[in-house]
Amino acid sequence: MRTRQRILEAAAELFRDRGYSNTRLTDIAERAGVQTGSLYYHFASREALVGEILHIGMGTAWRHVHQAVDSLASDAAPIERVAAAIKAHLLVVLDISTIASAQSRVVNEVPDDVRAAHLDEQRAYGNYWRSLLEDAQRAGELDPGLDLYVFGVALFGMMNATTALQPERVGDAEAVASIIVGLVLDGVRVGRPKRRAR
Amino acid sequence: MRTRQRILEAAAELFRDRGYSNTRLTDIAERAGVQTGSLYYHFASREALVGEILHIGMGTAWRHVHQAVDSLASDAAPIERVAAAIKAHLLVVLDISTIASAQSRVVNEVPDDVRAAHLDEQRAYGNYWRSLLEDAQRAGELDPGLDLYVFGVALFGMMNATTALQPERVGDAEAVASIIVGLVLDGVRVGRPKRRAR
DNA sequence: GTCTATACGGCGATAGAC
DNA sequence: GTCTATCGCCGTATAGAC
């Protein structure tokens, strides 16, 4: 495998497991099987390396979520599109891409200038989610009184927290995704019918 | 105010906003209005300081949640106790205690030995929540098929993510808490009555 | 492209005066 | 109890050989 790719993969595993601040360049080099100094042939700095992780990880999540939503029947209900997006995001961070997983773990931990450089793509992703939610709300399928800002923050907090699940204590990613989708759409309470739109 | 207390408060604000690894002792000292060297009269090390934050923060959350649940009528439904616990935890981290807020932010970021020293109290808190959830499930008020481990991780991920909400874009802590409680119990979907226990 | 060797700075921690 | 001064380590980054 190309060295640059090995470095990115090694960095992603470590960032995902320990976070950015707790990962030394020597750790990354060791896991990638090179000397620390050699990293600088491929990346200008530690910050440039993590910046690349953010970029690739977000792109990967974006592509998978977008594709999952687009592959629904064109007459699919907006709420179905939201459900598909949630499932796709979870599959990506839990299963498909170590780099996407790392992105979600370290986004809020990196130095300000790295975040700033990443902000545009992060916002684009957020805007896409917001449009999905607004469509569902306009269609009367989401609680019309729901504050989408609060909901969005809560939703991402929940989804990204699932990367901390111990694999041996849960089923596969599909199983986790369906639990989360069920929780978000219908909650965990039994026996109290939902009220209709007010 | 006693210096030790000022130091703890200053450290908590910084830990909550930037995390542990991104907070220098010089930042803490500056905010507390002392010289860096003076910190060592009150705490043996940086790790000891954050350990104290974890301890106090967890104790504070514990007390508030416990009290909120206990102050319910003794015949309150188990699901009501869960709702009260969620609300209380949110009020604590959003409003009541900077130290509790800091605890939730840095728990998964501190060095291993600090975490290890904190593990017992963290587990006790988790066990209390698990008992609340199991009671509700046994009473048939929570979806009987729900995986409580996955739910617990998701729930805490969601609750602790609310500390990232920008205050100017949301109502007060009570308002946020009621959104989250509603989301957890009944979900965000409109119009599809929940099925009864299967 | 990768290595070895080293420069450089930052930060946690200690010593000792007051 | 708080200050000033300083030590020493660790980790990022650079230089230059191969």
Compute how many other C-beta atoms are within 10 angstroms of the C-beta atom of residue A120: 9
- Give the closest-approach CA distance of B1 to chain A in angstroms: 32
Q: Nearest Cα to B163, choosing from B80, B78, B85, B95?
A: B95
Alpha helices, H only, A3-109? 3-18, 25-32, 39-42, 46-70, 78-91, 98-106
**Residue B27 CB neighbours (<10 A):** 16
pLDDT value of residue A169: 98
Q: Which two tokens stand for residue A197?
A: 């739109």
Q: Provide the CB-side half-sphere exposure for B113 (13 A, CA).
A: 4
Chain B residue closest to A198 (CA)? B190
Do B191 and A196 lie within an 8 Å CB cutoff?
yes
How far does the CA of B163 sit from the C1' of D9, in Å?
35
* Distance of alpha carbon A157 from the chain centroid: 10
Which residues interact with strand C by a CB < 7 Å criterion?
Answer: A 3, 33-38, 41-42; B 24-26, 36-37, 40, 44-47
Percent of chain B with pLDDT over 70: 96
Q: Which nucleotide is nearest to A47 (CA to C1')?
A: D12
Q: pLDDT grade, residue B193 (50/70/90)? A: low
| B115-128 pLDDT per residue, tens | 999 999 999 999 99
**pLDDT at position A1, please?**
74
Sort B33 into a burial class: Cβ within 10 Å, 0-12 / 13-18 / 19+: exposed
- pLDDT at residue A193, rounded to an integer: 58
Question: What pLDDT is recorded for position B196?
Answer: 46
When comparing pLDDT for A59 and A197, which is higher?
Answer: A59
Across B158-164, average pLDDT: 98
Residues of A in contact with B158 (CB under 8 A): 154-155, 157-158, 161
Residue A89 confidence (pLDDT) above 70: yes
Confidence of residue B1 (pLDDT cuts 50, 70, 90): confident
Report whether B60 contacts B120 (CB < 8 A). no
CA–CA distance, A179 with A197 (Å, rounded to integer): 25
**CA-to-CA distance for A18 and A11, rounded, in angstroms?**
10
Does B25 score more than 70 pLDDT?
A: yes
- Checking if the pLDDT of B60 tops 60, the result is yes
Q: Residues A176-193: what's their mean pLDDT?
A: 92
What pLDDT score does B197 carry? 42
Residue B183 scores a pLDDT above 80 = yes
Which residues neighbour A185 within 8 Å (Cβ) at sequence distance 6 or greater?
A79, A83, B187, B188, B189
Tell me which H or E stretch contains A6. Answer: helix A3-18
Strand D: positions under 7 A of a protein C-beta atom: 1-6, 10-16
Find and list the nucleotides of strand C having atoms within 7 Å of a protein beta carbon: 1-5, 10-16
Closest Cβ–Cβ partner in B150, B190, B196 for A197: B190
The average pLDDT across B105-121 equals: 98
Q: Which domains does chain A have, with CATH numbers?
A: 46-186 (1.10.357.10)
The predicted model gives B13-41 an average pLDDT of 98
| Nearest nucleotide by C1' position to the A39 CA atom | C2
pLDDT above 70 for B20? yes
**pLDDT reading at B29 higher than 50:** yes
* Cβ-defined contact of A157 to B153 (cutoff 8 Å): no
Q: What is the pLDDT of residue B192?
A: 64
Mean pLDDT of chain A: 96
The Cα angle at residue A120 between residues A119 and A121, in degrees rounded to 5 = 95
Query: Per-residue pLDDT for A197 more than 70?
Result: no
Q: Distance in angstroms, CA of B193 to C1' of C8?
A: 66
